[in-house]
A and B are shown apart, each in its own frame.
Chain A
Amino acid sequence: MSNHRIPDAPGQLINRDVPLTFTWNGRRLRGYEGDTIVSALLANGITITGRSMKYHRPRGPLTADYWDPNTTVQVGDEPNVRASHRLLRDGMNVSAQNVWPSLRFDLKSANRLVGRFLTAGFYYKTFMKPAALWPLYARVLGTFAPGGVVDLDAPPPRNDKRYAHPDVVVAGGGPAGMAAALAAAQAGASVMLVEHEHQLGGHLCWGDDTDRAEAARLAHAVRAAGVEVLTDATVTGRYEDNWLAISQRGLPGIDERLIKARAGVLIVAAGTIERPYVFAGNDLPGVMTSGAVRRLITMYGVKPGNRAVVFTANPSGDAAVVALEAAGVTIAAVVDGRLGGNVVAAHGRNRVRRVTLADGRRIDSDLLITAVGWTTPTSLLNMSGDRPVYDPEAARFFPWCPPDNVLATGGLAGDGTTEQLVAHGEATGLLAAARAGVVRHRLQHLTRRAEPVTTPEPAWPADERPPLPHGSHPALFRSTTHGIVDYSEDVSSKDLVQAADEGFDSVELVKRFTTTTMGPSQGKLETVNTVAVLAEARGETIEQVGTTVWRPPYAPISLGALAGRIHEPVRMSSIQPWHEAHGAQPILAGQWIRPNHYGDPESEVRNTRNRVGIIDITPLGKLDLQGPDVPKLLNLLYTNSWNALPQGAVRYGLMCAEDGVVLDDGVTGRLGPEHYLMTTTSSGAATVWNWAENWLQTEHPDWQVHITPVTTGLTSINVAGPDSRQLLERLTNDIDLGPDAFQYMQVRTGTVAGVANCIVWRIGFTGELSYEVHVPSGFGLFVWEQLLVHGQDLGVAPFGLEAQRIMRLEKGHFIVGQDTDGLSKAPVTGLETLLKVEKDDWVGKPEVVWALSRGDGPRIVAVQPTDPTVVPEEAAQIVAAGTNQILGRITSSRFSPTLNRSVCLAQVHPDVATPGTTLTIVLANGTRTTAQVMEHHAHFDPEGSRLRG
């Protein structure tokens, strides 16, 4: 299929028995199982894999690993796929991003010619004036945006989440990480080993036979020891108390899983990342790191070119020479950075053709391999609070002092032979297991148990690991020429020098000004080069310049993985199936789904006013209160007095927060000597429950009150209308419903439709004679259907939330949160008689007392528009006539089918709250209309003769 594959050899991950077919920009190509997209492309002779962001320079594989900034592609409907990491699948449609009209002939590469306009800070300098042209700029810039294409019709990704509680998490599956995981597991710890590649082994995978044998030994031992191994997974963040975010891909049926792990100890064994070198032409396809060619040759059997110049300053570069020779690549020159050799420039248009060396030689080649040193990816340590320090002798950063429950090992911590790295890893694993044991003991000690943990806490194990040595490495960051520093963002060393010249003296400012380290590679390749170039420009050392801060995520997480699956609980009453079967229009109220109406809310109102209606009010908050001190609690929570509530009576109450603002309202009935049922607003049920518990537990722990939330334990049905008594009489024989025996604001318990233990009370939210029936929820639907069957001749019909809202508005009953808001202190309600200032203590009392004495707060009033057909929008402003001075707003408004006119409640300034005052209302369309303040809140039956009947 191509001449870019070398013969099969040990260490190759591809399976030549399973050929795969895929397309690249529409062209049909072949690869093997085990290939990455990039190894398959290179095997087909494809060397340009993308175009750079600003200048649209051709780009090819640079590091050929997860961090490669030049190999981001579109796969089918998935944009921004890291092609050096993503495994090839049969039938994949792969295409280049950020090219137009095609990868080889990219018109946008004309940017190269206008590059001087795209230098440092061009975002802040260009396209600024005139401002009127911004829409045009935005459109033009949009076509240059480097991302892939989002297919809005693509099926949503499949994501999920998992929680894990391992003793030890090891980030990195190289020799040190594997050895650490193995030692910790053998010491009895539960261990999770997280490796971002598709296989364990780290750099041993592209090493020699001995390296690979050691990798295989450790990988086998780790699994045999019961370590949970996650490949294609990354620890992306570390937060307080070792709370870790781990992104895992490659699971069957799941695109990406987010694991939230609480680890006793985190071992960071992230290894090192090979740093690119800065020189003229350093981003030409064919310029690669030593790790890239070693990976491509050893793991994927790909010959990356024909004739190579190798610039080496370390053993990895030397090993690259050996690997290239073995793959049949001619070594045109080896330039040794340890001996003072240097490369100055790479030349070519779409690929390296020639290399200029510092000694003046010009050498023809199609590959230029650099091995100039390492970046330590200390991100997880930084997130733990560590500030790594630079060692000039080793030309890289090392950990400083991470917290006690985070340990570093491997290349991150120092240099050494495989044996030394493994030994350090083992010591780290043992230490981690011991420390995790102490953490576990502490957590157990903090948990109350029938048999408390009484063993003394073990001593915190000291860190007695012999440190890994820091090897010496020449400091090679930039040659004598300028080149690209940040490949993802197309930032050159010249841009950084210019930024320094312009006075940006902090690395954090230079970062934001030039956008260096802000692209998809997030500093993994370019941070140290950025710092080095700046240091050189300012005549300082790398330590003096310091680095930017590594923040989460270490590697990108998709938004879908963060969102996970949608788990939105829905609550519904036991009658909901009936509502759905009878054409109810649902409305979502908080978590509740409930019927808004059954087709015609106005006829539901008329039926209830004239005959009898039933409404499912199950979401009404219900708290069962028992104990001798319930009256004390009621006196504290409600503004009015609860001392003399007789058994069998219910009372309305208003609740405030400590700032005097209305919190909730509802009725509470006394069912027995020490037994009460409190109702709250539907939306306030959870709040009031927490609120009451709060006061009992923190202020009055001596009060004997037990609270049980019974909101869903009881199905609540309001039977309302002139014929409601007649209907209910047909369904109960142990509750005397006679007007004198069972009066308004009284409660009875008994049997309804044969269902025992029902609670029935007479209140009047709708303004009609009505009975609220609270039924054990298992019988809710049965009682509902019995009411309909037995009331057929009475014309009984269900009504929904909308009809109830109309009727309560006709009746002038305010709704907390609708007619009041977060600033409405209790006097706004006009219920002065319920604000018992003589009562010793109640929540919010001081603020209410002061508000009453000031008398300057807004008031809720009933408002009647002069034109009865006008229904002002809710939240329409009320202003002083002829001005825009705001005096209040409409809080509720509906057209009343009972009165055949509009009905409103409003909150207004006290100066205009007097009955008879004419108000000016600004409607949504900008026109003004007038209205009168009414004498009572109730538009309908202000005397209440209907509900008391």
Chain B
Amino acid sequence: MLLVPCPVCGPKNAAELTYRGETHSRPDPNQATPEEWRSYLYLRDNPAGWLREGWFCSSGCRTFFTLERNTTTGELREPLLPGNKVAGRPISDGTEP
């Protein structure tokens, strides 16, 4: 199991966090075309290599943070503190709906 470095709690088992997937910035809701909005909602790049992804420390400090993970080697880069934009999708406590 991946060891995920929460910026507040430190390294924790991935099962103690909620994976939020690839991060996307939110388009302006008043300007976005349906294509742009649905790309934000549904389309993911799924790269083989470095990926910026969102995590939620759901069983700990409840911080939302992003980090960069290499999907082929499992390497992680330093986590980033909250405030980074991630695609808004509802999540329940600890488990995906």
Contact = CB atoms under 8 A, between A and B. Distances in A.
Asked if A pairs with B, the answer is yes
Given A239-B1, A446-B5, A698-B84, A686 B93 contact: yes
B49 interface: no
Given A698-B85, A701-B83, A841 B29 contact: yes
B90 A663 contact: yes
B47 interface: no
Interface string A690-720: 1101110111010000000000000000000
B92 A690 contact: yes
Nearest to B26: A699
B9 interface: yes
Interface in A768-809: none
A840 interface: yes
Contacts of A687: 90-93, 97
Contacts of A699: 26, 85, 88
A448 B10 contact: yes
Interface residues on A, range: 20 to 34
A690 B56 contact: yes
B51 interface: no
A448 B7 contact: yes
A446 B63 contact: no
A722 B9 CA distance: 53
Contact of B9 (A447, A690, A693, A701): A447
Given A448-B8, A657-B90, A841-B29, A697 B85 contact: no
Contacts of B74: 240-241
A845 interface: yes
B37 A847 contact: yes
A663 B92 CA distance: 11
Contacts of A697: 63-64, 82-83
B81 to A, nearest CB: 9
B88 A841 contact: no
A266 B63 CA distance: 31
Nearest to A655: B90
Contacts of A841: 29-30
B88 A843 contact: yes
Interface in B68-84: 74, 82-84
Nearest to B84: A698
Nearest to B31: A846
Interface string A827-862: 000000000000011110111001000000000000
Interface in A214-247: 239-241, 243
A691 B90 contact: yes
B86 interface: yes
A200 B11 CA distance: 34
Given A693-B62, A697-B82, A658 B41 contact: yes
A240 B54 CA distance: 19
B43 interface: no
A396 interface: no
A698 B55 CA distance: 11
Considering residues A239, A448, A663, which has the most beta carbons from chain B within 10 angstroms of its beta carbon? A448
Contacts of B92: 686-687, 690
B1 A240 contact: yes
Contact of A846 (B29, B56, B83, B85): B29
A691 B41 CA distance: 16
Contacts of B30: 840-841, 845-846
B1 A693 contact: no
Q: Which of B54, B62, B91, B92 has the most CB of A within 10 A?
A: B92
A130 to B, nearest CB: 45
Nearest to B62: A693
Nearest to B83: A701
Given A241-B2, A241-B3, A690 B58 contact: yes
Contact of B64 (A241, A243, A694, A846): A694
A659 interface: yes
Given A240-B74, A241-B2, A699-B85, A694 B10 contact: no
A419 B84 CA distance: 57
A705 B5 CA distance: 26
B82 A701 contact: yes
Contacts of A657: 88-90
A699 B87 CA distance: 9
Interface string A662-690: 01000000000000000000000011011
B1 A241 contact: yes
B39 to A, nearest CB: 12
Contact of A698 (B34, B37, B86, B97): B86
A698 B82 contact: yes
B17 to A, nearest CB: 12
Interface string A424-451: 0000000000000000000110111000
Interface string A322-336: 000000000000000
A857 B83 CA distance: 35
B91 A690 contact: yes
Given A693-B64, A698-B86, A846-B29, A447 B10 contact: yes
Contacts of B90: 657, 663, 687, 690-691
A694 B30 CA distance: 21
Interface in B1-39: 1-3, 5, 7-11, 13, 18, 26, 29-30, 32, 34, 37
Contacts of A249: none
A309 to B, nearest CB: 51
A701 B82 CA distance: 8
B41 A694 contact: no
A262 B2 CA distance: 10
Contacts of B32: 846
Given A698-B84, A840-B30, A443 B89 contact: no
Contacts of A843: 88
B64 A698 contact: yes
Contact of B41 (A243, A446, A659, A842): A659
Among B30, B84, B87, B90, residue most surrounded by chain A Cβ atoms (within 10 Å): B90
B91 A694 contact: yes
Contacts of A240: 1-3, 74
Contacts of B62: 690, 693
B68 to A, nearest CB: 14
B53 to A, nearest CB: 13
B13 to A, nearest CB: 8
Given A701-B82, A847-B37, A850-B34, A694 B88 contact: yes
Nearest to B88: A658
A840 B31 CA distance: 11
A262 B9 CA distance: 17
Contacts of B3: 240-241, 243, 262, 443
A130 B5 CA distance: 58
A443 B11 CA distance: 6
Nearest to B40: A658
Given A687-B91, A690-B92, A698-B85, A443 B10 contact: yes
Nearest to B64: A697
A698 B56 CA distance: 11
Nearest to A442: B11
Contacts of B83: 697-698, 701
B11 A446 contact: yes
Contacts of A846: 29-30, 32, 34, 37
B85 to A, nearest CB: 6
A622 B27 CA distance: 31
24 contacts: A239-B1, A240-B3, A241-B1, A241-B2, A241-B3, A443-B11, A448-B8, A658-B26, A658-B40, A658-B41, A658-B88, A658-B89, A663-B90, A686-B93, A687-B92, A687-B97, A689-B93, A690-B56, A690-B62, A691-B91, A697-B83, A699-B88, A843-B88, A847-B37
Given A243-B1, A446-B11, 7 more contacts: A240-B3, A447-B10, A448-B8, A657-B90, A690-B91, A698-B83, A841-B30
Interface of A: 239-241, 243, 262, 443-444, 446-448, 657-659, 663, 686-687, 689-691, 693-695, 697-699, 701, 840-843, 845-847, 850
Among all A-B residue pairs, the 5 with the closest Cβ atoms: A447-B10, A686-B93, A243-B1, A701-B83, A241-B3
